[in-house]
Amino acid sequence: MARRTLDRIANAVTRWPLARQVSQLGIDGAAMSDRTRRMHSRLHDVATVPSVCPYCAVGCGTLVHVQDGRIVDIEGNPESPINEGALCPKGASTFQYTVNPNRLTKVLHRRPYATEWEEMDLDEAMARVARLFKETRDRTWVETHSDGETEGPARHTTAIGFLGGAALDNEENYLIKKFCVGTGVVFVENQARI
């Protein structure tokens, strides 16, 4: 009984003029004008590169559309088993992040008590961070307990802490923890817990 009803509905729908113009792939040629046939997506002749959203450790799949060496669009990858093409607001704004004219592309440094930022060479900045890290670590190093206690950590510094970000993956977090343990840093926290 239900099968006959479905057949009658299908026959009725196929008799409608509009329904005859629709094929399995969309609008049939009968419903298109010459102008419509000439139109195409702005992404029709660009290279598409699968990638991963950089904003968190979930790893949502994205499609990065590139033309002449420049990113022209970023969208969710519908074939990704993680997000099936959907992106959160941060992921959806990834393209705007890449083309924002206010995006920082150089190291900026503000000296102590200064009011203005100045550009700094990346190698100089990394050397400064390493030097200050070592100076602070050496100055605040606890080799043994001063109160005679034997319980608890020794050979550490409490003057340095490390805060990880939500965009870090498992491997990066592992390396950060190994670095902190190896250098005696005991205060290690992640953005996810704050």
- Domain ranges in the chain are 2-38, 47-99, 105-139, 143-194
CATH superfamily, domain at 47-99: ADC-like domains (2.20.25.90)
pLDDT at 39: 79
pLDDT in tens, 57-89: 788 999 999 999 889 999 999 999 999 999 999
For residue 109, what are the contacts with CB-CB under 8 A and spacing of at least 6?
117, 118, 119, 120, 125, 128
Position 12 scores a pLDDT of: 67
Place of tokens 């002449």: 68
